[in-house]
Amino acid sequence: MKCTFSPLGDNAVRMRFGDAISKETNVHIRKIALLLKKEQIRGVIEWTPTYTSISVFYSSLIIDYKELCKILKKLQMRTETEALPPAREIIIPTCYGGDFGPDLENVANSNNLTMEDVIRIHSETIYLVYMLGFSPGFPYLGGMDKRIATPRLATPRALVKAGSVGIADVQTGIYSIDSPGGWQIIGKTPLKLFDITGENPFLLQAGDTLRFTSIPEDEYQSIERKEHE
C-alpha cells in the first residue's frame, strides 16, 4: 500500500495511506501498530493510529527523523506477511429511547422511520472499530446504515453522560466519559468503555467488531450495578 512520510512537528513522523477510509487501510495501519509494539524501536515513545494514517512519536535525542523513516519503511514492507490476531466481537447492551435516548424520536422523524425501525436498524449491524479518539476509549465505528444517518445537533449539549450511544451524520459512537457533545443520543449502555483504575482501561480496541443489542431498563440497571461493584 502506498505510503507518504512527513514530519509532524519536531518529534513525530506521520505515515499516511491516502484519504479513503476503508477496511483495507485500517488493516494495514493496525499491522504497522502491531509491528511497532513488537519491535520496541529505541527512541519511539508512542504511536497514534487514525482512519488513514499513523503518527509515530519519538525522542530526537535518541533517534532522528531520517533514521526512523528508514526503519518504518522496512516495517511497512513486512505488513504483507504479518498476521493480525482474530478480531474480538464485543456486544454492547443498550437501552434505547426515553431518558437514555432523548434524540431517538428525532432520528426517526428525520428519516421517515418509526423509533422501532431505528433501534432495529442500528442494532442489526456489525460495526468495525476503526480507531479510538476524541476522548479516552471513544470508538469510531464503520458500517452504520445510511437509512438512520442524522446531522449533529444544531446546539451541542454541555454534558453528555458516559455510555451514551449517538449518531452524527453517517457515524455512530459511544461516549466513553462525561463530556460536551453534539451527537444525536439514541440510547445508553451501562458498560464502562474507559476505567482508569483497570489494568487495561479500555473496553474496546481498533480492529474489534461491535454489535449493539437492545435491553429493557431493568436489565440496564442490573448490569450497571455489576459494573460499579
DSSP labels for 117-185? HHHHHHHSPPEEEEEE-SSTTPEEEE---GGG-BPPPSS-EEEE-TTEEEEEBTEEEE--SSEEE-SEE
How far is residue 196's CA from residue 53's CA, in Å, rounded to a whole number? 27
The 3-state DSSP class for residue 54 equals strand
Q: How much is the pLDDT for 197?
A: 85
- The answer to whether residue 62 scores a pLDDT higher than 80 is yes
Q: How much is the pLDDT for 128?
A: 94
Which of 85, 9, 22 shows the shortest CA–CA distance to 48? 9
Residue 148 confidence class, pLDDT cut points 50, 70, 90: very high
Q: How much is the pLDDT for 85?
A: 87
Written as nine digits, the cell of 13 is: 513522523
The better pLDDT of the pair 213, 197 is held by 213
- The answer to whether residue 229 scores a pLDDT higher than 80 is no
CB 76 within 8 A of CB 4: no
Q: How many helices (H) and strands (E) does the chain have?
A: 5, 13
**Mean per-residue pLDDT over the chain, rounded:** 94
- The answer to whether residue 43 scores a pLDDT higher than 90 is yes
For residue 167, with 0-12 CB atoms within 10 Å meaning exposed, 13-18 middle and 19 or more buried, which class applies?
buried
How far is residue 161's CA from residue 11's CA, in Å, rounded to a whole number? 35
- Please tell me the least confidently modeled range out of 51-60, 99-108, 122-131, 196-205: 196-205
Structural domains of the chain, with CATH: 4-77 (3.30.1360.40), 89-227 (2.40.100.10)
How far is residue 61's CA from residue 42's CA, in Å, rounded to a whole number? 11
- Three-class SS of 177-223: CCEEECCEEEEECCCCCECCCCCCCECCCCCCEEEEEECCHHHHHHH
